[in-house]
Amino acid sequence: CVTIVELLKQAGYSTNVVGRLDMVTADNWHDPKMIRRHVDHFFGSTGHIGPGNYFKAVRNMHFYLDGKPYDIPAEGFYNTDALTDYAIRFIGEAAKSGGPFFLYAAYSAPHWPLHAKPTDIAKYRGTYSKLGWDELRARRHKRLRKLGLIDANCPLSPRDRRVPPWKNAPHKEWQAERMAVYAAQIDCMDQNIGRILQAIRKAGAERNTLVLFLSDNGPSDQVWTRPLDRKGKPWRLDGTPTRVGNKPAITPGGPDTFVTYGPPWANVSNTPLR
C-alpha cells in the first residue's frame, strides 16, 4: 500500500503539500522526518487537533517548512491564508520546471477552534439569529432536493434530541455568533481555493490540471472543554491565557478563545442526516 504522494513522486511528479500532515506513508503518521523522503515541498503542521490556534503559536503544535521548524510570526498570521501563500509559491516553482506537479492542500478550516478574521465574520453576523437552526435545516433540505443532490423522497431527520427548538433556545445571539464564525472560516477557505485556482491559471496549467475538492466526514463527537493552560504552562507560546468552553461568556472568533460550534449547528451542517 502506498500513498498518492509516494506514487506520484515515483512517477516523476513534483510533490507538494500544505496544511495538516496526517500521513506521509501508509504506515507512518505525524512524522516530520519522513517529509523530505516523499515530498519535495511541505508547509504545515503535524498536529492532530486541528491547527490549535489559527492566529498564534501554541504548545505541541509544530509547523515545518521543507523539513525545518517554522516559527509562526507574532502578528499578521492566519492559518488558512498562510497555507495558501505557500501553496501558490510551490505551484509557481513547479511550473517553472516544466514537469507535472501534484499539490495536496489540507486546510484545517473549519476544524475547531472557532477562529476567523473579523472582516469575514462580519459578513455573516445577524444571518443565523434571523433563521435559527430549525429554519436553516428546512431550507437546506429543500434546496438539496431541488438541486438533485438527494432523492426527492429523502426525509429530513428529526432534530437532535439534545437540541431545543430555536424559538426556545437560550442565548440566541451567542449561538448565532458561533455559526457565523464557522461560516467565516469556510468563506476564507473558499477565497483561498480561488487563489490556488488563479495560480494554476497563471502557471498556464489550467487546461491540463485535475482539481479535486474533498471533505472528510468529521466523525468525532468530541467537545473540548478541558483547560489548555495547565501546570503553569500557557497554551499560547506568547503567554496569553486561553479561554476554553462553549458558554455565552466566551465570544468565539479571537485567538484567545477555544470554542466549538456544538450539536445544533453540526445538525444543520449534516442536513438531511442527524
pLDDT, one tens digit per residue, over 164-187 is: 999 999 999 999 999 999 999 999
pLDDT at 180: 98
Give the pLDDT band (50/70/90) at residue 202. Answer: very high
Residue 218 is assigned to a structural domain of this protein: yes
Residue 149 is assigned to a structural domain of this protein: yes
Residue 11 C-alpha cell reads as 512517477
Does the CA dihedral 28-87-79-66 come out positive or negative? positive
Residue 178 is assigned to a structural domain of this protein: yes
pLDDT in tens, 24-78: 544 554 566 667 777 899 999 876 556 789 999 998 788 889 888 899 999 999 9
Domain count of the fold of the chain: 1
pLDDT at 94 over 60: yes
Q: What letter represents residue 73's amino acid?
A: P
pLDDT at 87: 98
- The residues, ordered by sequence, that sit 6+ positions from 98 with a Cβ below 8 Å of its Cβ are none
pLDDT at 153: 94
CA dihedral 170, 175, 176, 178 (to 10 degrees): 170
Residue 146 is assigned to a structural domain of this protein: yes
Give the pLDDT band (50/70/90) at residue 112. Answer: confident
Most confident range, picked from 41-45, 95-99, 132-136: 132-136
Range in 85-89, 152-156, 212-216 with the lowest mean pLDDT = 212-216
The radius of gyration of the chain from alpha carbons, rounded to an integer in Å, stands at 20
Most confident range, picked from 64-68, 80-84, 93-97, 238-242: 80-84
Q: Taking residues 86-112, what's their average pLDDT?
A: 94
Residue 167 C-alpha cell reads as 424559538
CB 14, CB 100: distance < 8 Å: yes
Residue 274 is assigned to a structural domain of this protein: no
- The residues, ordered by sequence, that sit 6+ positions from 206 with a Cβ below 8 Å of its Cβ are 200
Does the CA dihedral 183-188-189-193 come out positive or negative? positive
pLDDT at 83: 97
pLDDT at 6: 85
Q: Taking residues 89-102, what's their average pLDDT?
A: 94
pLDDT at 33: 65
pLDDT in tens, 215-271: 876 555 555 555 666 666 788 889 899 998 899 999 999 999 999 999 899 999 999
Structural domain including 51 reads 4-269
β-pairing, 41-45 vs 63-65, is antiparallel
Residue 98 is assigned to a structural domain of this protein: yes
Does the CA dihedral 81-89-26-21 come out positive or negative? negative
CATH number of residue 170's parent domain: 3.40.720.10
